[in-house]
Amino acid sequence: MPFLRVKVTIVCKQCGERFVLRGKRERGRIETGFKQCLCNNKDLFDIEELPF
């Protein structure tokens, strides 16, 4: 099954920083390569998939 390109908005729940990234959806999971926010937060995020 080939991967599908998606656009993702990630919002940090600690500082409110917003990131808009492209990623790929494979087997129900989205991979963007995003690791952590500028405030060093690695866990608390709101992630929303946008239409591409």
Q: What is the mean pLDDT of residues 37-46?
A: 96
Token pair listed for 14: 């600690």
Token pair 């087997």: residue: 27
pTM over 0.95? The answer is no
- Coil, strand or helix at 49: strand
Once rounded to an integer, what is the mean pLDDT over residues 24-33?
A: 88
Is the pLDDT at 1 greater than 70, yes or no?
A: no
What's the farthest any 2 CA atoms get from each other in the chain? 37
pLDDT tens profile 6-22: 999 999 999 999 999 99
